[in-house]
Amino acid sequence: MAVAGIVSVGQPALAAAGGGGSATTSGTSAPAPTSSSGFAAAAATTKAGRNSHGISAQHLDGACNLYSNGDGDLCLWYLQSYGGSHADFFYSDNDLNNNTFSSPGAGQGARVGNNSESAWNYDQHLTARVYTGVNSTGTAGTIAPSSGGNFTPTFINNVESFIWV
């Protein structure tokens, strides 16, 4: 499965069945999250709950959240090095082509699918597995808990879905 931390630039992503290698490069620090205390939906903190494509105030709220229980969002940025607009996801998403970058900055309003150049996984427990196709198809790569960076060449502007693992 995923290795703790991030692997080096240029490691090829593995086939979806294999779980994939790291989708991002190392050596960059995340923008500070929005700290949120408490979290009521206990079922949503499980892998199954987070992959149920639920809707809540925490999902797509325009902030990269880190909750007091260690749950957090996957945030995707329009530009490298966390530049431009971002989109935040508490729940997995099987088609990022239906979402737009919501925060102020370059790319605001642009489609998230195939337009993300950097990412950070604010969750402290779950790994985000990104895919180059919708519905968790295509090449897979991982973003370990509390890590991220610029997408590798396989994934830059080429992510269309993700799940929590």
pLDDT of the residue at 96: 95
Cβ-proximal residues to 27 (8 Å cutoff; 6+ apart), any chain = 149
DSSP state of 124: S
Q: Where are the beta strands (DSSP E) in 46-104?
A: 65-67, 74-79, 83-89
pLDDT bracket for residue 14 (50, 70, 90)? very low
55-68 pLDDT tens trace: 544 456 788 999 88
Q: Determine how many CB atoms are found less than 10 A away from the CB of residue 33.
A: 18
Instruction: Please say whether the dihedral angle defined by the alpha carbons of residues 165, 51, 146 and 12, taken in this order, is positive or negative.
Output: positive
Averaged confidence pLDDT in the chain: 80
What b-and-e string marks burial along 132-146, b requiring 16 or more CB atoms within 10 Å of the CB? bbbebebbbbbbbbb
Terminal C-alpha separation, the chain = 9
Can you list the domains of the chain with their CATH numbers? 16-164 (2.60.20.10)
Longest Cα–Cα distance in the chain: 40
Tokens of 52: 């149920």
Distance between CA atoms of residues 36 and 19, nearest Å: 30
Distance between CA atoms of residues 40 and 87, nearest Å: 23
73-123 pLDDT tens trace: 999 999 999 999 999 999 999 999 999 999 999 999 999 999 999 999 999
